[in-house]
Structure 1
Amino acid sequence: MRALVRALAVCAVTAASGAASAQVLEFEALDGWTKDDHAAALATFRQTCDLLKEPDWQPLCRLAAEAAERPEAAREFFELFFRPVQVGDPPALFTGYYEPELDGSPIRTPRFAWPIYARPPELQDGAVWRTRAEIESGLLAGRGLEIAWLDDPVEAFFLQVQGSGRIRMPDGRVVRVGYAGKNGHPYVSVGKEMVRRGLLRLEEASAQTIRAWVRRNPAEGAALLALNPSFVFFRRLPQLGADRGPIGAMGRSITTLRSIAVDPLFTPLGAPVWVEKDGHRPLRRLFVAQDTGGAIKGMQRADIFYGTGAMAGEVAGEVKDGGRMMVLLPIDRAYAMLPEN
């Protein structure tokens, strides 16, 4: 059994380059741990814990339901059954994402001229398909795959970066859309390319500054956006209530300032993660790894979900901060990650 647990743990923190370093910590070593709202974190954990099928997770989900009946028991639940594990070496890189609210139309008009597409039926999971430039040249035109038409090509691009959104139609109806697949090409950071070309300084690069530059320089900006060959397709989410967050990689709604996107090669989806984000608007908070992203790669790497709408977008777009992150793992799994003596 010990060997099985060790194998499962190593799988969660192993990449092509080999096993990652891991350090098991005590809760006293977590900055701000005692001040967090553990009941809120527990509620978010319970949103997806039933999807964790490994034997060491299943009993914890049952115990989480019991702990949720007494909010004061939430902190005790995490401290009794988990140990914080730091995988890799800080500093971490924390960024932010959000769910945009955009104006759109169900049909093309002079104003609404940039489509977002449903997934083509011939696109296979994991397959490398046509590039962004090919798709945006009209490859899918006339096939009825347009979910909606937007009034801004820059917002259409960033909607793909975020992976979900709310589109407000002219009649006031709101259409929720979520990630349905991508074309299989690797994500290329437009911000990094702009820094490389000297168009922005590294400390200036954010979603807001990239948007502003592209709008000021439409021809060169369009060419820059096309350098990212990755293209995201969407699906309508008609059953998703207005009070629910967008759907994450685990197929459930994510929670504002409690859900993060991670690299599942190193951080198991569904696991609680303690975040110590420094910089502007620092955070000391327990999150749950419930999402992934094309640009979220590495051990000490997380994208924080800041919520829905323009204000959330303003905050999320400025986040590029250091700190550290620790995944909370069941006790046996945590200690199985340590090297054998």
Structure 2
Amino acid sequence: MVHQTISTSNTPAPSASSNNNTMPRLLVDFFSARGARQAALAAIVGTLAACATRMPEAPPSTPAAVPTVPGLPEAPPYAVPGDTGPLPPPITQGKSRWTAVRWAELPGFGQDPLHEAWNAWTKSCERPGPVQAPLCKEVRRLSIGSGDEQRAWMVARLQPYKVEPLLGSSEGLLTSYYEPLLDGTRNPTSASAVPLYRPPATLGQRKPWYTRQEMETLPEAKAQLAGRAIAWLSDPVDALVLQIQGSGRLRITEADGSQRLVRLAYAGTNDQPYKSVGRWLLDQGLIRDATWPGIKAWIVQNPQRVNELLWSNPRTVFFREEVLSELDMAFGPRGAQGVALTPGRSIAVDPASIPYGTPVWLASPGPWAPLQKLVFAQDTGSAITGAVRADYFAGWGPEAGDLAGRLKQPLKLWVLWPK
């Protein structure tokens, strides 16, 4: 799922990754018998204990002070006995520099309910990168472990590194995105006349394809889109939101009056540059608040200028329809890693700085969502560029949309890399 944000940046989008058409698999319990599960956990915990006994004794020391993150509750550091040896050297990863730190330096590490993140980790293990793949057998086994067992395993097997840009401040920006839930119809009506399209047959033959304005006004563009509509919405701004987010859930009314819930997944773009409508409004001096609530308030007051607003962004996203099973409804769309996103535990990153599938510790203050938690790099987006930059997947529906429309706050990141 390659999405844009309403960020005022007009940074060109990276090339869209192809989505995996495989439906998300059921989370597998690898140990069907209780005895086998207990034995597996005992083996892991025993291994961790053995590792601990091999550590040389060190004199008592004061744990490293947890970096203060304004706006977040202060938490005691997570003390790791014997965590006093030399740290590994820094790693240069594309646009970023990773500097090794102690576990005690991760704000709130001892308080995060890790079991809530483990489903996202097992999802990443459906398509792991070469560095993370060797951990996946143990990750799956620990899905039935306690939070203390999961935390001890992480300390034994991973090394935290603070993510910093090669130049400049280590504090970045956190925004959020979500999966809209909209109502639509299979056929156009007097109330639903805004189409959502499949990719046109000529998409690959003409690069870039027609702009948003040309698609609505040029006869030749309209002809190539004839018969390609998946569904129809009543509000063109809802269609824009769906295209910016890159995926959504649609409660669709069929021709016979029946209703069903489907997912519209990202299937490509017209290869035109993405332009932020919020940036356009700011540049015109029309608003001061470029969040979605601010944009929508301007639209209500200026309905005659809606097309002008929409056409300021020449990019259009095309979709494909997917059936939503009960399991699919519990997860988000597939991200650029090719696995289903988990609300509150998946983030979009710049893959040139953080590889897909990497576990990441995230700390961000702010009035909307003060966060200190384990998340996973599973997606990307056109505005998500740079070392310390992330887009937080909030889930689906109105509440997630409200958070995604408002969240814009400082960010610090630590990657958790295999030792």
**Which TM-score applies when normalising by structure 2?**
0.70
Shift of 1:232: 0.8
* Residue 159 (structure 2) pairs with residue 71 (structure 1): no
Contact kept? 1:175, 1:236, Cα under 8 Å: yes
* Residue 278 (structure 2) pairs with residue 191 (structure 1): yes
Aligned to 2:105: 29
* Residue 160 (structure 2) pairs with residue 84 (structure 1): yes
Alpha-carbon separation, structure 1, partners of 2:181 and 2:317: 17
Match for 1:20: what amino acid? S
Pick from 273, 276, 300 the counterpart of residue 360 of structure 2: 273
Alpha-carbon separation, structure 2, partners of 1:192 and 1:90: 25
* Residue 384 (structure 2) pairs with residue 284 (structure 1): no
Match for 1:286: what amino acid? L
Q: What secondary structure does 1:303 align onto?
A: strand
Pick from 292, 298, 302 the counterpart of residue 207 of structure 1: 292
Shift of 1:154: 0.5
Residues 48-82 of structure 1: CA distance to partner in whole angstroms, max 9, x if unpaired?
2231241x322111221222231332212222222
Match for 1:33: what amino acid? F
Q: 1:20 to 1:282 in 2, by over 3 A?
A: same
Shift of 1:125: 11
Q: 1:136 to 1:71 in 2, by over 3 A?
A: farther
Aligned to 1:180: 267
Pick from 219, 237, 259 the counterpart of residue 304 of structure 2: 219
Match for 1:314: what amino acid? D
Q: 1:133 to 1:209 in 2, by over 3 A?
A: same
Alpha-carbon separation, structure 1, partners of 2:190 and 2:152: 58
Aligned to 2:237: 154
Contact kept? 1:126, 1:184, Cα under 8 Å: no
Residues 9-63 of structure 1: CA distance to partner in whole angstroms, max 9, x if unpaired?
75xx32xxxx533322222111111100122223211102231241x32211122
Alpha-carbon separation, structure 2, partners of 1:126 and 1:161: 22
- Runs of at least 5 residues in structure 1 that lack an aligned partner in the other structure: 1-5, 332-341
Contact kept? 2:176, 2:393, Cα under 8 Å: yes
Aligned to 2:132: 57
Q: What secondary structure does 2:203 align onto?
A: coil
Q: Whose Rg is larger? A: 2
Alpha-carbon separation, structure 1, partners of 2:184 and 2:394: 23
Alpha-carbon separation, structure 1, partners of 2:205 and 2:117: 32
Alpha-carbon separation, structure 2, partners of 1:174 and 1:41: 27
Residues 168-200 of structure 1: CA distance to partner in whole angstroms, max 9, x if unpaired?
123332221111111222321111222222222
Q: Which of the two has greater helix per residue?
A: 1
Match for 1:136: what amino acid? E
Aligned to 1:235: 320
Match for 1:271: what amino acid? T
Pick from 81, 87, 109 the counterpart of residue 189 of structure 2: 109
Residues 91-121 of structure 1: CA distance to partner in whole angstroms, max 9, x if unpaired?
2111111111111100111110001111123
Q: How do residues 238-317 of structure 1 correspond to structure 2 at under 5 angstroms?
A: 238-240=323-325, 241-280=328-367, 281-317=369-405
Identity of aligned residues (%): 38
Contact kept? 1:97, 1:317, Cα under 8 Å: yes
Aligned to 1:165: 248
Match for 1:174: what amino acid? L
Shift of 1:245: 2.0
- Runs of at least 5 residues in structure 2 that lack an aligned partner in the other structure: 1-88
Q: What secondary structure does 1:51 align onto?
A: coil
Contact kept? 1:277, 1:323, Cα under 8 Å: yes
Q: What secondary structure does 2:401 align onto?
A: helix
Shift of 1:126: 12
* Residue 108 (structure 2) pairs with residue 20 (structure 1): no
Residues 277-332 of structure 1: CA distance to partner in whole angstroms, max 9, x if unpaired?
1111211111111111122222111111111111111122110111212222223x
Question: Runs of 4 or more off by more than 6 Å in structure 1?
Answer: none
Shift of 1:140: 4.1
Alpha-carbon separation, structure 2, partners of 1:136 and 1:29: 54
Match for 1:78: what amino acid? M
Alpha-carbon separation, structure 1, partners of 2:416 and 2:211: 38
**Which TM-score applies when normalising by structure 1?**
0.86
Q: What secondary structure does 2:182 align onto?
A: strand
Q: What secondary structure does 2:323 align onto?
A: coil
Match for 2:172: what amino acid? A
Q: What secondary structure does 1:33 align onto?
A: coil
Match for 2:250: what amino acid? I
Match for 1:96: what amino acid? S
Contact kept? 1:94, 1:277, Cα under 8 Å: yes
